[in-house]
Structure 1
């Protein structure tokens, strides 16, 4: 029995099995690579599901966290800290939010969505429109906005008043807004549906959502939890359009692996919807998470990682398509949030074979492999994956 097998047996005995049995037990990482407890090394092309923005063990992040740990990690929100104030200012800046905007720090993306739901209720309205195939989180409010029946059904009835419309369907969105009428509080959309298989919103669809919500006096909330923080080559995925939302939610890559989320409100009218005592979090905005967030953002800026993510993402997508493999139908996504689409439902088999070969990817759908690597990914890592991919897909065809 390997050390990993032993630890997985202990995992089964000690943890609530909501995740199933993990694929392996990881010990440490360096850059774009991770190593398991038995010494096997993997190229991490999943990045903790778009979390490990700077990879593993990045000196800037290690230094910032180490320094903050030596000073203070937690102070509660009866007090503030310099990192919290500075990170809020920096988040407003990278979000291109106008004067009078604000930030609420949470501990996760689901909590940021919960804050957005409460924000929308402060309009005095209760109806929310979300998209089919959306994923916004597993807490009960966020789950009401999430589409997948398998996630929702065991916990129904959920929060009422949520309508799901087909993604990118302008006529359906218009009809739903009209049906909600004066009770429409918000439209909540992902600019890229990551969990659905990396599906991009049509810019015209986002523009229509903006026009309809403005006309209805409702909020447009964009969920940038997975696709934000530079992953697409823009700070936020919707920055590729001219759409300005009323609020965005952030998490995942915001602090490079330290848990933190954020609701960002745009302008004084929206920011003023939540007032004293109407929301809170014991750990939200703690100095440790905020110091990590600042280090992450500053490193993205100083190292030019927005342009790097765009360039490496294009190289990766072009390289996959240039293989001309009969089991690859194409790629979807932008920057370093990509899906390799397959002609057969063999993604789970391909993911398992890739792991055995030393590559971590994710079967996000039966016919799609998701890639969300650290933004520091280099051409050498891309080349090694592209060299291995044809053989993995050939083997997956047999195993699948």
Structure 2
């Protein structure tokens, strides 16, 4: 392969060549940081030039257990040698255990496995509508679901129909009807929306913590209030725990911080351990029992490889070690970020989050979130920006305290510079 060169004759680096090829041959629906990862282990990644980076994003929580976790890789390798796909036309010997153990972890009865988070959200929407028509008795075509502003539940056409993000919606209409948007964290607005048409409302769909919006934590009592409102009005409470669930916040589920058990959990990301895409809707028999054969499905949903990896994820969470680690390191993370925010001239305007998950609002005078992320990348730390001048911090739960402190030190130095 010929060496590509710049106009001045200098050779193009492997990173530059690979990024240029990606730009030429792939749709520009993402704007990644200019790093090309080749290998990874634990909380560290190495690029094609041999440079090492501390991963402070963890694949938006898909890598809660770190890169190349030996337990997950062993589970995947063992299953790869047996069978990887049967489709749901046939049973396979990992499916029953996966569903039973995931239901047990959630304190529920039934599981509907899918692949991606967006698929799981779409499945939850269909579940809620079918339950509304077949159990609650909502007249056909009138089912309504209440969602929160600034939500992020995926990018399918139905999901963007109730997004308030112009980038997600523009030029993708016409939009799916049947959704009412209320401000996130506003219990009075939620109560008013429910009272307006409780008979036709089938579900409230919420992220217990809004990740893409900047790791927004609702006011104390909000989730418990929503749970009470939905229970009183015979409406399903659907918790999208795709990012917030499975250990990220220091509990198995973020809803647990308010002692809330929703009617439906929507799970994904970490459920596949960063190895394969695995998602699921988990609920009671009374809710998921509404489906009949042929009404919903997925060729790869609940495949043997996904179930094998998912089973190991569930087993790793059952002992509580990862949740405890996220809680303890999360307390340390937020203490350090609070001290940074309080320091005169720190460049930090606000810090939010729970567990090993934080959103940091940076003074725009210090740079955009993208610019701060690029400066951190140059220092060997990988984060990602959102909504202008906000950066998200969500390292793998296996990160060491010394590595975490080193990464925070780089942030401190970048802002100071």
Does the pair score TM above 0.5? yes
Q: Which residue of 2 aligns with 1:79?
A: 90
Change in Cα spacing, 1:380 to 1:22, as seen in structure 2 (3 Å) is closer
- Residues 19, 34 of structure 2: 8 Å contact kept: no
Is residue 159 of structure 2 the alignment partner of residue 121 of structure 1?
no
Q: Deviation at 1:203?
A: 4.4
- Residues 165, 176 of structure 1: 8 Å contact kept: yes
- Give the CA RMSD over aligned residues: 1.6
Is residue 321 of structure 2 the alignment partner of residue 322 of structure 1?
no
In 1, distance between residues paired with 2:288 and 2:319? 30
Deviation per CA, 1:342-396: give whole Å up to 9, x if none. 233632211110011100111123232111111101111112112222221123x
Is residue 385 of structure 2 the alignment partner of residue 363 of structure 1?
yes
Q: Deviation at 1:303?
A: 7.4
- Residues 61, 295 of structure 1: 8 Å contact kept: yes
Instruction: Tell me which of 240, 244, 258 is aligned to 1:227.
Output: 244
Q: Which residue of 1 aligns with 2:255?
A: 238
Deviates more, 1:53-62 or 1:79-88: 79-88
Q: Deviation at 1:17?
A: 1.5
In 2, distance between residues paired with 1:51 and 1:41? 20
| Matched residue count | 391
Q: Deviation at 1:57?
A: 1.3
Q: Deviation at 1:156?
A: 1.6
Deviates more, 1:207-216 or 1:128-137: 207-216
Is residue 289 of structure 2 the alignment partner of residue 272 of structure 1?
yes
- Residues 206, 239 of structure 2: 8 Å contact kept: yes
Is residue 59 of structure 2 the alignment partner of residue 51 of structure 1?
no
Instruction: Tell me which of 260, 263, 269 is aligned to 2:281.
Output: 263
Q: Which residue of 2 aligns with 1:155?
A: 172
Instruction: Tell me which of 206, 211, 217 is aligned to 2:234.
Output: 217
Could you tell me which runs of 5 or more consecutive residues in structure 1 were left unpaired when the two chains were aligned.
Answer: 396-400
In 2, distance between residues paired with 1:301 and 1:378? 21
TM-score by length of 2: 0.90
The alignment partner of 2:161 has SS state of helix
Q: Deviation at 1:296?
A: 2.1
Deviation per CA, 1:28-72: give whole Å up to 9, x if none. 101100111111110000001111111111111111111110111
Change in Cα spacing, 1:20 to 1:135, as seen in structure 2 (3 Å) is same
Q: Deviation at 1:252?
A: 0.8
Runs of 4 or more, structure 1, over 4 Å off, are: none
Change in Cα spacing, 1:366 to 1:21, as seen in structure 2 (3 Å) is closer
Is residue 5 of structure 2 the alignment partner of residue 2 of structure 1?
no
Is residue 356 of structure 2 the alignment partner of residue 336 of structure 1?
yes
In 2, distance between residues paired with 1:331 and 1:55? 24
Instruction: Tell me which of 387, 409, 414 is aligned to 1:387.
Output: 409
The alignment partner of 2:94 has SS state of helix
Q: Deviation at 1:211?
A: 2.2
